[in-house]
């Protein structure tokens, strides 16, 4: 699923080069394959996130970014692996 989904995401990001592109990210581990594939492509220079703004679809209200139960912490933990 990761490679199939990221292909569509990359096409949309590249089609918006020079413009802001908003990317909503779900919670949970289902899409982690997609995220890892996008990170790999970015490291290879195949996709730029310079104009991409991400937001978490399921974040708890008023929870600090550094709280271990926040989606922000979850994303940071898994992006660094």
- Give yes or no for a contact between 52 and 13, defined as CB atoms under 8 angstroms apart: yes
- Give yes or no for a contact between 62 and 68, defined as CB atoms under 8 angstroms apart: no
CA distances from 29 to 1, 34, 45, 48 (A): 12, 10, 25, 23
Alpha helices by DSSP H, the chain: 2-15, 32-43, 71-79
How confident is the prediction along the chain (81 residues), in pLDDT tens digits per residue?
A: 445 555 678 888 888 888 999 988 877 777 778 888 888 888 999 889 999 998 877 777 888 988 988 887 877 777 665
Query: What is the reported pTM?
Result: 0.67
- Give yes or no for a contact between 56 and 27, defined as CB atoms under 8 angstroms apart: yes
Rounded CA-CA distance 30/50 in Å is 25
């Amino acid at each position: 699923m990761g490679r199939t989904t990221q292909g569509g995401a990359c096409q949309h990001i590249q089609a918006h080069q020079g413009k802001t592109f908003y990317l909503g990210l779900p919670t949970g581990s289902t899409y982690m394959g997609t995220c890892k594939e996008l990170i790999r492509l970015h490291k290879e220079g195949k996709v730029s996130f310079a104009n991409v703004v991400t937001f978490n679809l399921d974040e708890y209200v008023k929870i600090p970014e550094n709280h271990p139960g926040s989606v922000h912490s979850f994303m940071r933990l898994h992006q660094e692996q």
